[in-house]
């Protein structure tokens, strides 16, 4: 029987953050037993606070509505504008799903939990509908709070699957990549090619890269997205049917991540510049081009395609950070002129631009 874990008597609030992520290479092949490289981004984060009930015998659990959970609006225009920007659902449902899955995990592993309740509340500055993994960030931050509150240890390699199960319960179509990088942080190369491991154990093989391997990167995003590829693309169904074109291109996307891993490894160890950096940029461009071929420009959304084209127009390399709404950009040279031109062109089109600040990961190593 598992040793019981009891909530500490401390009255202090527990606050944890989980950071946005950028898919540098390989996405969306991670959802098709492929490979990818992801980066934890310090610029944007979700924050969850757990407040223990002041009455220690109270078992009440409260989930406070957050900035995207409002049910009262100043006008119909306000309702329409906020819904168009943030969608129909906020973060409270994510935390509720987390509490359910966390409870199931503790019951399964025979953890004895304190009956003292708590209040959960969240906030986030991660741009909505921007492909920066704002939803999973709320769950990861909440999971950190629950583990700390109840002194429950969940191995790091098991945490992404638990987070993903919360989203699947809510009907959110997602893969492991985002949850892995938000739990591990730093820069991680992920190999999901062992289909049996992914299906039965809920994990792939993860290799950390030093943050120093990354050249200067930038994030371009639309703070008020008007479209995010709402036209349905049947790529998943075609892949499952064994469509040779989709299978071939998805495999090529995965190979880009594998090649990128080798490039970044050389950048991290030899401090090389120039040609390896250009090669990384070319891999990023190829990644987006293959996505566009598979899904089609209409499915990606005109505004999203314009974002990529604008960044590239200044001579830079660019691809989506996720499924659309934001791009990760690598300038072809270190010249201030190129960087300034890219910023000016993107801002002139109404996009926001900022340098990517890497959120450092935990000690380097490999987890299977």
Going from the C-alpha of 322 to that of each of 44, 74, 138, the distances in angstroms are: 15, 33, 17
| Active-site residue flag, 69 | no
Identify the pLDDT of residue 367: 41
Written as six digits, the tokens of 272 are: 């090389």
| Pairing of the two strands 61-63 and 317-320 | unpaired
Identify the pLDDT of residue 3: 46
137 burial type by CB count under 10 A (0-12 exposed, 13-18 middle, 19+ buried): buried
Identify the pLDDT of residue 1: 41
Written as six digits, the tokens of 304 are: 């999203």
Measured from the Cβ of residue 239, the count of other Cβ atoms closer than 10 Å reads 18
Cα gap 67→152, rounded to integer Å: 29
Looking up tokens 């062109």 gives: 345
Helices H / strands E in the chain, number of each = 12, 11
> Dihedral sign, CA of 18, 24, 29, 34?
negative
pTM of the model: 0.90
Tens digits of pLDDT across the chain (368 residues): 454 454 555 568 999 999 999 999 999 999 899 999 999 999 999 999 999 998 888 899 999 988 788 788 889 988 888 787 777 778 899 999 999 999 999 999 999 898 999 999 999 999 888 889 999 999 999 999 999 999 999 999 999 999 999 998 888 877 899 999 999 999 999 999 999 999 999 899 999 999 999 999 999 999 876 544 444 468 888 988 998 999 999 999 999 999 999 999 987 554 455 567 899 999 999 999 999 999 998 889 999 999 999 999 989 999 999 988 999 999 988 788 889 999 999 999 999 999 999 999 866 444 43
Contact criterion met (CB below 8 Å) for 220 and 311: yes
Q: Choosing from 30, 178, 191, 345, which is the catalytic residue?
A: 178
Q: Three-state DSSP class for 91?
A: coil
Identify the pLDDT of residue 352: 96
């Amino acid at each position: 029987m598992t040793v019981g874990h009891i909530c500490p008597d401390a009255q202090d609030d527990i606050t944890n953050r989980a950071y946005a992520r950028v898919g540098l290479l390989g996405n969306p092949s991670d959802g098709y037993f492929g490979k990818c490289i992801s980066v934890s981004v310090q610029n944007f984060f979700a924050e969850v606070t757990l407040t223990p009930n002041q009455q220690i015998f109270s078992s009440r659990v409260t989930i406070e509505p957050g900035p995207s959970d409002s049910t009262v609006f100043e006008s119909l225009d306000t309702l329409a504008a906020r819904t168009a920007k943030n969608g129909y659902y906020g973060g409270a449902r994510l935390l509720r799903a987390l509490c359910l899955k966390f409870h199931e995990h503790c019951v399964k592993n025979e953890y004895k939990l304190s009956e003292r309740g708590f209040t959960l509340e969240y906030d986030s500055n991660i741009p909505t509908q921007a492909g920066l993994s704002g939803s999973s960030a709320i769950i990861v931050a909440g999971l950190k709070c629950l583990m700390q509150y109840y002194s429950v240890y969940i191995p790091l390699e098991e945490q992404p699957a638990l987070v993903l199960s919360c989203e699947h319960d809510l009907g959110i179509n997602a893969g492991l990549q985002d949850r892995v990088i938000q739990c591990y942080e730093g820069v991680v190369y992920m190999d999901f090619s062992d289909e049996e491991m992914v299906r039965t154990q809920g994990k792939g093989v993860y290799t950390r890269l030093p943050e120093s391997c990354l050249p200067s990167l930038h994030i371009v995003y639309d703070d008020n997205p008007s479209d995010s590829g709402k036209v349905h693309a049947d790529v998943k169904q075609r892949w499952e049917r064994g469509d040779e074109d989709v299978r071939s291109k998805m495999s090529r996307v995965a190979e880009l991540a594998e090649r990128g891993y080798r490039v970044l490894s050389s950048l991290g160890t030899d401090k090389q510049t120039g040609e390896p950096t250009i090669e990384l940029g070319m891999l990023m461009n190829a990644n987006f081009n293959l996505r566009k071929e598979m899904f089609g420009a209409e499915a990606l959304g005109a505004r999203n395609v314009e974002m990529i084209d604008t960044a590239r127009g200044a001579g830079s390399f660019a691809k989506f950070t996720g499924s659309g709404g934001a791009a990760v950009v690598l300038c072809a040279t270190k010249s201030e002129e190129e960087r300034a031109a890219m910023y000016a062109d993107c801002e002139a089109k109404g996009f926001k631009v900022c340098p990517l600040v890497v959120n450092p990961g935990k000690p380097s190593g490999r987890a299977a």
